[in-house]
Amino acid sequence: MRDTLRPKIDATVLARESPTTLGGAFRHFFDFLSPRILAVACAIVFPVRLALGDWSVWDAVIVLGIAAFWPLQEWLIHVFILHYRPVTILGRTLDFPVPQSHRRHHRDPWNIDILFIPSHVFLYAIPLQVALWVGLAPTLPLAFTGLAAFYAFTLHYEWVHYLVHTRYRPKFWLYDRLWRNHRLHHCKNEHYWFGVTMLSGDRLLGTAPALEDVPTSRTCRTLGLEDDLEGGARAA
């Protein structure tokens, strides 16, 4: 098991050594743009929500609803967006920047620089989220409750995903389980263990089998694609 979760790391990866302690990981985490953007979003949205007041049971309903849906969201995004396979239509290959970025991440999973949510995603994701919550929530306070919860969950996602790809192994049992789960996705078989911050999505949707029942995949790094990551992708 230990060998499965600790693949050989080449010299280029060793040159960008990642933290080995929790404190070092926390400091290093905020060197990257995505955590900074999400931290700023939380720092804006949380005080606004507190200032608006008007608390009700619906605030708890929204937070619990987001928490309940989150593992399914992680699974759906990972399977259908991040692992999207380019298709050819009328001689032209249809591919997108986000799955391309994720394929880079699978090719070089120990490169911390390319594991975060791409910064360009926030250019449309944040305005869209604000518009949806403000437009659909029955009151402005509830809209900000939803935004605060969503940004907090997203920041937590980035933190857990980051930890998995450092040299630090979490000591708390829950995070150790998440660490193991995601490393299996990268090092054992890319068709399973899609959850990052929660395990229930994989359990519910049948992608959390017993380890001994899963063959070791030869395409964990390529996702089954011969991809130059600039000129397009083709099936291997």
- What is the mean pLDDT of each successive set of 10 residues along the chain, which is 236 residues long? 49 56 92 96 97 95 97 96 90 89 94 92 94 95 97 97 93 93 94 95 94 92 69 48
Q: ∠ at Cα 39 (44, 119), nearest 5°?
A: 110
Please name the residues in contact with 183: beta carbons below 8 A apart, sequence gap of 6 or more: 4, 5, 164
Using the structure block, give the residue that is written with the tokens 């880079």: 104
For 225, phi then psi, to 5°, come to -125, 135
Using the structure block, give the residue that is written with the tokens 């070092």: 24
Please check whether residue 72 lies inside any domain of the structure: yes
Please check whether residue 15 lies inside any domain of the structure: no
Would you state the pLDDT for residue 18? 77
Would you state the pLDDT for residue 90? 84
Please check whether residue 53 lies inside any domain of the structure: yes
User: How many residues belong to the chain?
Assistant: 236
Would you state the pLDDT for residue 6? 53
Please check whether residue 14 lies inside any domain of the structure: no
Would you state the pLDDT for residue 89? 87
**Pairing of the two strands 87-89 and 225-227:** unpaired
Query: Rounded to whole angstroms, how far apart are CA atoms 126 and 151?
Result: 9
Q: What is the DSSP letter of 93?
A: E
Please check whether residue 12 lies inside any domain of the structure: no
Please check whether residue 159 lies inside any domain of the structure: yes
Range of the domain at 171: 2-7+21-235
Please check whether residue 75 lies inside any domain of the structure: yes
Domain count, the chain: 1
Q: Are 5 and 153 in contact (CB under 8 A)?
A: no
Please check whether residue 55 lies inside any domain of the structure: yes
Q: What is the DSSP letter of 18?
A: P
What's the N-to-C CA distance of the chain in angstroms? 28
Question: How many helices, marked H, and strands, marked E, lie in the chain?
Answer: 10, 4
Would you state the pLDDT for residue 19? 84
pTM of the model: 0.88
